[in-house]
Amino acid sequence: MTLPVVGALPVLATLLLLLAFSAEAHAAKATLFESMGGEGVLRTAVDRFAELVVADDRINFTFADADMNKFRKLLYEQLCELSGGPCRYNRAGHAHVARQDEAQNV
């Protein structure tokens, strides 16, 4: 079944909501990452979300100059780590955020 383009944001919102409850998953034997199917399932969800973002004319201009392979990689790493998976999210991929953080600490 294919999700309509308008379903992109609810898909991500649902995924993030699941991740918000990952603390409970850590207390159980299986992590949220494992419970939702592991790497294959999460990569498929991230790939589908990226496809929906690019196809949605309401938001795709935001990603016009983005390296979508890097976007997918960083989003996967972030969600993987947050869900208790083996990944470690490298925030250095967001150099502009680090610069903003430094500016606010002045």
Query: Is residue 16 predicted with pLDDT exceeding 60?
Result: yes
Q: How far is CA 64 from the centre of its chain?
A: 18
> What DSSP line would sit under 9-52, residue for residue?
HHHHHHHHHHHHTHHHHHHSSS-HHHHTTHHHHHHHHHHHHHHH
The number of residues making up the chain comes to 106
Identify the CATH number of the domain defined by range 5-104. 1.10.490.10
- % pLDDT > 70, the chain: 66
Instruction: Tell me the pTM.
Output: 0.64
Min mean pLDDT across 24-28, 34-38, 88-92 is at 24-28
Domain-wise residue ranges, the chain: 5-104
Min mean pLDDT across 26-30, 45-49, 54-58, 83-87 is at 26-30
Tell me what pLDDT residue 90 has: 85
